[in-house]
């Protein structure tokens, strides 16, 4: 029995040594298409704990590196990443320069969400539904858009709120720290004001207006308001 205990302890020490020498991966690489004028190019996008790097290879000069402090907004969906920088775009009258990447070879950026969801601040926009969020309660809704809307499920968890929908790029996952305000005009309406930039109003926060298909209980609204005011950026 003593020999068995010593053997087990030795295995544990060996496993600890392996973890130290070969740490858990904190980076991911993706084959992507970089969309730009006059035509798109293919390259490799690397995301790690320091920032994001784009590399097209030796034949092309379009290699870029951004640390997270120099990214004004990072939008992540299953198939697309959009990086908004602080640099002026002289071809667009001083608008901030942005870079858009599309996943190639049938892959997607879902694994990048796991890397970024607890690392980035309010500048991170998760345009996908976190399937790991355990609902405290949920309600069927319609998200009202400027021209057309989408239907789905609003899921309220302890640390995050998820809008789950089948419409491309309309899904969202918000930490409570990603939400600036919460309001309602009645039991069948709910508006989340987020720190996401509104394209229609340059630099402003973005509202998500939901029509509720079931009345929202006042106690649930009050609990949601309390959690929001805790500003738990988890």
CATH 2.40.110.10 fits 135-230, yes or no: no
Number of H helices, E strands in the chain: 3, 15
Rounded to whole angstroms, the Cα distance separating 175 from 162 reads 9
Would 28-126 and 135-230 be classified into the same CATH topology? yes
The pLDDT confidence band at residue 63, using thresholds 50, 70 and 90, is: confident
Question: How many other C-beta atoms lie within 10 A of the C-beta of residue 43?
Answer: 22
How would CATH label the architecture of 28-126?
Answer: Roll (2.30)
Contact 31, 105 (CB under 8 A): yes
pLDDT at 6: 53
Residue with tokens 């998820």: 162
Residue with tokens 């987020």: 194
pLDDT digits (tens, 9 = 90+) for 128-155: 999 999 999 999 999 998 888 999 999 9
Residue with tokens 């775009």: 89
pLDDT digits (tens, 9 = 90+) for 192-220: 999 999 865 556 899 999 999 999 999 99
C-alpha closest to that of 127 among 83, 93, 81 = 81
pTM of the entire predicted model: 0.82
Residue with tokens 């006059």: 38
The pLDDT confidence band at residue 230, using thresholds 50, 70 and 90, is: confident
Q: Is the pLDDT of residue 17 over 70?
A: no
Q: Can you give the residue ranges of every domain in the chain? A: 28-126, 135-230
C-alpha closest to that of 59 among 78, 41, 32, 36 = 41
């Amino acid at each position: 029995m003593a020999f068995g205990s010593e053997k087990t302890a030795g295995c544990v020490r060996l496993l600890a040594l392996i973890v130290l020498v070969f740490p858990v991966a904190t980076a991911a690489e993706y084959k992507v298409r970089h969309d730009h004028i006059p035509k798109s190019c293919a390259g490799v996008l690397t995301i790690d704990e320091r920032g994001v790097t784009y590399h097209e290879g030796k034949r092309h000069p379009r290699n870029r590196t951004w640390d997270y402090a120099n990214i004004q907004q990072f939008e992540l969906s299953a198939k697309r990443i959009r990086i908004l920088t602080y640099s002026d775009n002289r071809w667009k009258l001083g608008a901030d320069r942005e870079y858009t990447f599309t996943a190639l070879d049938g892959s997607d950026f879902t694994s990048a969400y796991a890397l970024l969801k607890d690392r980035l601040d309010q500048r991170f926009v998760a345009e996908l539904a976190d399937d790991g969020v355990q609902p405290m309660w949920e309600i069927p809704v319609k998200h009202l858009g400027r021209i057309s809307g989408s239907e789905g499920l609003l899921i309220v968890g302890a640390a995050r709120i998820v809008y789950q929908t089948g419409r491309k790029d309309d899904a969202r996952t918000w930490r409570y720290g990603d939400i600036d305000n919460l309001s309602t005009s009645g039991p069948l309406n709910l508006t989340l004001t987020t720190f996401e930039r509104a394209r229609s109003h340059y630099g402003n926060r973005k509202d998500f207006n939901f029509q509720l298909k079931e009345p929202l209980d006042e106690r649930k609204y009050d609990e949601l308001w309390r959690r929001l005011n805790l500003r738990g950026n988890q």
